[in-house]
């Protein structure tokens, strides 16, 4: 009985029940912001426009800014499911059937 093969097939089959998820395409990009340019002794990151709120003048859009977008956003086009080789599946299934004949494995 090959425990490593059983574990591998189990892990591959378990991956098939995953539900795809992703962040919104516009997440972190919903502000009117523009860089202040050079010569102001601040980073050239885009900054929220306006005045009269705490958000005005804060950095926006960049992945290192608070409320900014993700650096590499999660996408639903990722490979969520995995294929299990037929021969491997057959082998592990046969191992399971064969293991039922060994009393030590069945009992415990």
Is residue 90, in this structure, part of any structural domain at all?
A: yes
Tokens of 104: 């030590």
Q: Please state the rounded mean pLDDT for residues 17-39.
A: 96
Is residue 107, in this structure, part of any structural domain at all?
A: no
Sign of CA dihedral 4, 10, 14, 15: positive
Residue written as token pair 């491997």: 88
What single-letter DSSP state applies at residue 107? H
- In this predicted model, what pLDDT tens digit does every residue of 41-63 receive, in sequence order? 999 999 999 999 999 999 999 99
Tokens of 93: 């299934």
Q: What is the pTM of this model?
A: 0.73
What single-letter DSSP state applies at residue 70? -
Same-domain pairing of 64 and 36: yes
Same-domain pairing of 34 and 47: yes
Counting beta carbons within 10 angstroms of the beta carbon of residue 77, is it exposed (0 to 12), middle (13 to 18) or buried (19 or more)?
exposed
Same-domain pairing of 13 and 27: no
* Strand-pair partners of 47: 34, 59
CA distance 50 to 60: 13
Is residue 65, in this structure, part of any structural domain at all?
A: yes
Q: Tell me: pLDDT of 73 over 90.
A: yes
Domain that holds residue 86: 1-18+81-102
Same-domain pairing of 68 and 26: yes
Is residue 108, in this structure, part of any structural domain at all?
A: no
Q: Domain count for the chain, please give it.
A: 2
């Amino acid at each position: 009985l090959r425990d490593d093969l059983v574990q591998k097939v189990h892990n591959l089959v378990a991956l098939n029940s995953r539900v795809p998820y992703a962040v919104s395409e516009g997440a972190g990009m919903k502000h009117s912001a523009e860089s202040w340019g050079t010569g102001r002794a601040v980073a050239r990151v885009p900054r929220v426009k306006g005045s009269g709120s705490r958000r005005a003048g804060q950095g926006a859009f960049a992945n290192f800014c608070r409320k900014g977008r993700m650096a590499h956003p999660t996408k639903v086009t990722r490979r969520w499911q995995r294929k299990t080789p037929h021969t491997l599946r057959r082998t592990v299934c046969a191992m399971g059937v064969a293991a039922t004949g060994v009393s030590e494995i069945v009992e415990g």
